[in-house]
Structure 1
Amino acid sequence: MSFVDTFKYNSGFGNEHCSEAIVGALPKDQNTPQVCPFNLYAEQLSGTAFTAPRAQNQKTWLYRIRPSVSHLPFQPYSTKSKILATFTSDNTVITPNQLRWSPFELNTQESVSFVDGLYTIAGAGDASLKSGVAFHVYMANCSMTDSAYQNSDGDFLFVPQEGTIVIQSELGFLTVAPNEIAVIPRGIRFSISLPEGLSRGYVLEVFNGHFELPELGPIGANGLAHPRHFLYPTAAFEEKNTAFKIYNKFLGQMFVAEQNHSPFNVVAWHGNYSPYKYDLSKFNTDPSLFTVLTCKSNTPGTAVADFVIFPPRWAVQENTFRPPYFHRNCMSEFMGLIKGEYEAKKDGFLPGGASLHNCMTPHGPDAKTTEEAMKANLKPVKVANETMAFMFESCYIVSVTKWAFNDCQKLQNDYHKAWIEIPSKFANKSA
């Protein structure tokens, strides 16, 4: 089943956007009025401290039918998800080995929405300290109904691999298909519908900071992802007075609260703290830079997390080994495949699966790819045709959840064999 995206969007990364579903719903000046137009309630959503520098300050004013505080108390919710927001030696597996997973299976035996379909693969840090990252996969087969999800722990970056998702947020709708991404900042309530019935994908979560575009520097003004290609929702409210559930991921635990109206009742909004989407096919690949979005750390040039893609591109270098070279990295690298065949791993790395090469864990092209690359005729060639691989890269040393290491039964125990047959070709010409 195909799904046609009929929603309207604002464009421009990080811009201050204004949107109203009813003309005149936005107040005309900066001050919060005593009585808002149409008797709406004003509510500010702050993604940074009030006193953050202007260039980093993120906030949005919402003008809504009822404020978000109008709900019953949150109660613990027993979710089927396996999620973590604090990573310790007690609740994870610590290993320096190269790890790879076969495609994660979609559950078709029972109804599973996004609320119960999120599973943590690996991560580091502690959401309570607003420091760290988590790498997740999601697998769902039904839409959320009369419910919303709120992540209090960090920002979500969605990478659908199979099945379009429609995200209804407090600020409006986003339709996100495979080969697109979406970011839902911390605290924004959203619901996920599945117009195609099944959906699987990956989620990068950052506990500190927010995603931004990387600096361009010497590569010039027009490389990588262009700000105008990032799309933001337009206001779309529903005046729905019925039983509604708000699910809250709070320090890795799930809670639920009930209320008698829809949380998607924002008639107008303005600000720069909002969900957004991006089409990966619009990325302008530089020969050595593949970063779409970055979440900076306090160390210049080092990221809490980078979202990196390896899209179709031309390889034209001369006198070189063209596949990704063998290396050990102070950063941790989690990779997934949306579609196609990754050029450095011809076998075993499949769409819907994943790999993890942790801090200083050696990795590189497999034996077959290495041998072919050393014999290749170095003419210009299009690589990664019909392929989209990606990486979540982080400065943190991550540990692996027990679900990912044991319970999901998708970990490939023979992954090390990808390199074990690489022969010695040493020729000592001085002998």
Structure 2
Amino acid sequence: MDRTAELKYMSGFGNEFHSEDPRCPGALPQGQNNPQVCPYGLYAEQLSGTAFTCPRSSNKRSWLYRILPSVCHKPFQSMGHGFLANDWDEAEPDPNQLRWNPFEIPTASQRKVDFVNGLHTLCGAGEPKSRRGLAIHIFSCNTSMINRCFYNSDGDFLIVPQQGKLLITTEFGRLLVEPNEICVIQEGMRFSVEVFGETRGYILEVYGVHFELPDLGPIGANGLANPRDFLVPVAWYEDRQVAEGYTVINKYQGKLFAAQQGSSPFNVVAWHGNYTPYKYNLSNFMIINSVAFDHADPSIFSVLTAKSAHPGVAVADFVIFPPRWAVASKTFRPPYYHRNCMSEFMGLIQGSYEAKEQGFLPGGATLHSMMTPHGPDAECFEKASTSKLEPERIAEGTMAFMFESSLSLAVTKWGLKAGLDKNYYKCWEPLKSHFNPKQK
């Protein structure tokens, strides 16, 4: 049986949705959320993603109608933290430009690794107890989660698969997420990941805030990521007893805990609300760009943002650099050399990034910390400085992305050992002075 067949979705970002498994028509109560007796003998359970008293415009919650409530489990026991971390002082600060070779994926013949066991924290800032900050993780796995699910009490996961597709079963239904797509599993939502071979990707985790669409301002009503292109799963349930026990894994205050229960947690027959998992295909992004001269700031490529309490300053932005036309005249077209007050973590899903066609590879990453200079390598500079300026298609077959943050990110001990390219700085060494005071 093809497990990826018959997946169904609804579209729209942040909408109030309602869904019920067609096997149980009328499972959604009518007229009230918590009747004395729910249809089909189901239990009502609310999942809240914001404080009860948040303004209506930002209040997030969903009602789940399930065979058994999620409270039916044995006590949680500590699992340690695996390769997850939020002690940002475990390694000395390093302001240098950092680049990682593609992160290793263990083969099944070496050892079987599922999504949870394959999580490794690369860098981050803040901490989950105070609900402020973020972490960037790498996942690499080769086997599916069997009778195991995961949920995060610390924050939201924005998952960017780079190699291999993910079939993600959630309490709300199932999502098939492939490279060049992303998905967001919000805080508290239980999910299990099925893979189909060697799989790798990136995760941006934010504490205490949720991802939302950026404001468009002078762009107007249309552009960037359109709300209708975000997909939400349709209700799907399994009524399955697990004699050997089902393991529920919880990430809480940066550590992992496990509890046992006797049945599948994916027993939600119907649900309604605006607090859901969702996915988005990056090829649907409507690009805005310069059509005269110079550069627009990379914020025009923002897909999602997690806002801070300061207007215009994000805890994190998710930014992409998709295939597009370059038409600016009298302009050095690759990204300009710059320093700024943000931390810029870049990953490459496929293709070759136009500012560094060598060395920055799919499945790898770079980190340019705040006020650390960076920009095109020497080869890119020389090529772009002499090329004929005419309309050209750039980044064809490429998808690079950036997790950009106003926080100063610290790299973990694992991150300093995980294929770090110690020669990255050399890509700028061939840059030479072209200064001639006699020639304007």
1:222 matched to 2:222 = yes
Shift of residue 6, structure 1, vs aligned partner: 2.9
Could you say if the C-alpha distance between residues 5 and 353 of structure 1 is closer, same or farther in structure 2, counting changes exceeding 3 Å? farther
Counterpart-to-counterpart distance in 2, 1:249 and 1:56: 25
Match of 1:366 in 2: 377
From 428, 431, 436, give the equivalent of 1:419: 428
Counterpart-to-counterpart distance in 2, 1:307 and 1:82: 24
1:97 matched to 2:96 = yes
Match of 2:327 in 1: 316
Match of 2:292 in 1: none
- The code of the aligned residue for 2:210 comes to H
Shift of residue 418, structure 1, vs aligned partner: 1.1
Counterpart-to-counterpart distance in 2, 1:3 and 1:18: 24
- The code of the aligned residue for 1:290 comes to F
Counterpart-to-counterpart distance in 2, 1:88 and 1:334: 16
Contact residue 93 and residue 405 of structure 1 kept, 8 A: no
Contact residue 244 and residue 258 of structure 1 kept, 8 A: yes
- The code of the aligned residue for 2:280 comes to Y
Match of 1:67 in 2: 69
1:122-161 equivalences under 5 Å are 122-161=123-162
Shift of residue 4, structure 1, vs aligned partner: 5.1
- SS class of match (2:263): coil
Match of 2:191 in 1: 190
Could you say if the C-alpha distance between residues 394 and 249 of structure 1 is closer, same or farther in structure 2, counting changes exceeding 3 Å? same
Shift of residue 299, structure 1, vs aligned partner: 0.7
Counterpart-to-counterpart distance in 1, 2:340 and 2:5: 40
1:227-376 equivalences under 5 Å are 227-242=227-242, 243-287=245-289, 288=296, 289-376=300-387
Counterpart-to-counterpart distance in 1, 2:269 and 2:333: 52
Match of 1:209 in 2: 209
Contact residue 161 and residue 179 of structure 2 kept, 8 A: yes
- The code of the aligned residue for 1:42 comes to A
- SS class of match (1:83): coil
Shift of residue 376, structure 1, vs aligned partner: 1.1
Contact residue 297 and residue 303 of structure 1 kept, 8 A: yes
Contact residue 87 and residue 399 of structure 1 kept, 8 A: no
Taking only aligned residues, the RMSD between alpha carbons, in angstroms, comes to: 1.3
- The TM-score, its normalising length taken from structure 1, stands at 0.96
- The code of the aligned residue for 1:418 comes to C
Counterpart-to-counterpart distance in 2, 1:317 and 1:233: 41
- The code of the aligned residue for 1:258 comes to Q
Counterpart-to-counterpart distance in 2, 1:9 and 1:379: 42
- SS class of match (1:92): coil
1:15 matched to 2:15 = yes
Shift of residue 208, structure 1, vs aligned partner: 2.1
Counterpart-to-counterpart distance in 2, 1:92 and 1:27: 53
Shift of residue 218, structure 1, vs aligned partner: 1.4
Shift of residue 78, structure 1, vs aligned partner: 4.6
Counterpart-to-counterpart distance in 2, 1:31 and 1:186: 22
1:224-281 deviation digits (Å, cap 9, x = unpaired): 1110100001110100111200011111111100000110000000001110000001
Shift of residue 30, structure 1, vs aligned partner: 2.8
What is the number of equivalent residue pairs in this alignment?
424
Q: Identify unmatched segments of 5+ residues in structure 2.
A: 290-295
Could you say if the C-alpha distance between residues 92 and 48 of structure 1 is closer, same or farther in structure 2, counting changes exceeding 3 Å? farther
- The code of the aligned residue for 1:283 comes to F
- SS class of match (2:116): helix
Could you say if the C-alpha distance between residues 31 and 156 of structure 1 is closer, same or farther in structure 2, counting changes exceeding 3 Å? closer
Counterpart-to-counterpart distance in 1, 2:333 and 2:316: 26
Match of 1:405 in 2: 416
- The code of the aligned residue for 1:240 comes to R
From 428, 432, 438, give the equivalent of 1:429: 438
1:82-121 deviation digits (Å, cap 9, x = unpaired): 112x3432x2331100000000111011100011000111
1:12-39 deviation digits (Å, cap 9, x = unpaired): 0000000001211101013410111111
- The TM-score, its normalising length taken from structure 2, stands at 0.94
- The code of the aligned residue for 1:220 comes to G
Q: Identify unmatched segments of 5+ residues in structure 1.
A: none
Shift of residue 5, structure 1, vs aligned partner: 4.9
Counterpart-to-counterpart distance in 2, 1:344 and 1:6: 41
1:298-334 deviation digits (Å, cap 9, x = unpaired): 1111111100000000000011110000001101000
